[in-house]
DNA sequence: CTCTCGATTATCT
DNA sequence: GATAATCGAGAGC
C-alpha cells in the first residue's frame, strides 16, 4: 500500500501540491477513492476565500498546512479543502471529484437520500456530492489530514493530468488552476481541449 | 445534448 | 440585503 501523505507534503506551493494530489487516495472513515479533480486557491487570488483577509469562516486557511478547511456552499452543500503552504499563507486545494473505490454502498446510501438512482459516476463527481458521499461536514473543519478519520495515500505512479480554468467562480475565471485525471469519467465536468 | 431555475443559509456589506 | 468555490430537475432542441 502506498505511504500516507505526511504533513510536509502540503507544506509547499499550492500550485505544486494540487496537481500532485491527482491520483492520490482519500478515505474518510474508510469511505472514499482516488482523487481525480482539484482546484488551487492562493491567497493572492481574488477567487480565494482568504483573499479578503482572515474571517471566522476562513480561519483554518490561515493556519498551518495539512488541515481540512470545510465550508458551506450555497447554503446546502459542504466543500472540502486541504490547507497548503506555510501558516499565514492562507492557500488551499479544493477537492472536486473522486473515483469511488471504498465504501461504495455507504456512499450510495448517503447520496440516495436526494437521488433516486445514484449511479456510481454520480456519487462523487463534484465538491458537494463528494462531501455528502464520504460524510464530510463542518465537524471536519480544522482536523489534521494525517490522522483519522482522514486517510490520504500517495499515488503509486504519475498519471496524465489535464489543466483548465476553474468552475463555478465569478472572479479570476481564466486562471488555469483546475487539475484533472486525463480521461476520467468521474470528473464534475469534462475539460475542454 | 444544453439551458434555466429554485433550494437554503452562513457570511459579509 | 446580497451573495455564493453547487446540485438536480425540468424544459426545449
Tell me the pLDDT tens digit for each residue of A106-118. 999 999 866 656 6
3-state secondary structure of A77: strand
Judging by DSSP bridges, how do beta strands A31-41 and A178-181 pair with one another? antiparallel
Bases of chain C within 7 A of a CB of the protein: 3-9
- A105 sits in which H/E element: helix A104-112
Residue A106 cell numbers, joined: 455507504
Task: Say what the pTM is.
Answer: 0.96
Q: How far is the CA of A154 from the C1' of B12 (A)?
A: 38
- Helix orientation angle between A104-112 and A127-134, rounded to the nearest 10 degrees: 110
DSSP 8-state assignment for residue A37: E
Q: Which residue is nearest to nucleotide C5 (CA to C1')?
A: A169
Cα-based angle A38, A61, A129 (whole degrees, multiple of 5)? 40
- How many Å apart are CA A171 and CA A177, to the nearest integer? 13
Where residue A163 falls among pLDDT bands split at 50, 70, 90?
very high
Distance (Å, whole) CA A30 – CA A26: 9
The pLDDT score that the predictor gives to residue A116 is 59
Q: How far is CA A20 from CA A5, A150, A179, A185, A190, in A?
A: 11, 18, 9, 19, 19
Q: Which nucleotides of B are covered by protein (CB under 7 A)?
A: 7-13
Q: For residue A19, name the pLDDT band (cuts at 50, 70, 90).
A: very high
Report the nearest residue to nucleotide B9, CA vs C1'. A75
Amino acid at each position: 500500500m502506498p505511504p500516507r501523505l505526511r504533513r510536509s507534503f502540503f507544506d509547499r506551493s499550492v500550485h505544486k501540491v494540487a496537481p500532485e494530489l491527482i491520483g492520490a487516495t482519500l478515505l474518510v472513515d474508510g469511505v472514499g477513492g482516488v482523487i481525480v479533480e482539484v482546484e488551487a486557491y492562493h491567497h493572492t487570488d481574488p477567487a480565494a476565500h482568504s483573499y479578503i483577509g482572515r474571517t471566522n469562516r476562513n480561519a483554518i486557511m490561515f493556519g498551518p498546512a495539512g488541515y481540512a478547511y470545510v465550508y458551506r456552499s450555497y447554503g446546502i452543500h459542504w466543500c472540502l479543502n486541504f490547507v497548503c503552504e506555510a501558516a499565514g499563507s492562507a492557500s488551499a486545494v479544493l477537492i472536486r471529484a473522486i473515483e469511488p473505490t471504498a465504501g461504495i454502498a455507504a456512499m450510495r446510501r448517503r447520496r440516495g437520500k436526494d437521488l433516486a438512482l445514484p449511479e456510481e459516476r454520480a456519487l462523487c463527481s463534484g465538491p458537494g456530492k463528494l462531501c455528502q458521499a464520504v460524510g464530510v461536514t463542518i465537524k471536519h473543519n480544522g482536523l489534521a489530514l494525517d490522522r483519522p478519520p482522514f486517510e490520504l495515500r500517495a499515488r503509486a505512479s504519475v498519471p496524465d493530468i489535464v489543466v483548465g480554468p476553474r468552475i463555478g467562480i465569478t472572479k479570476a475565471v481564466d486562471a488555469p488552476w483546475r487539475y484533472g485525471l486525463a480521461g476520467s469519467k468521474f470528473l464534475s465536468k469534462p475539460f475542454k481541449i
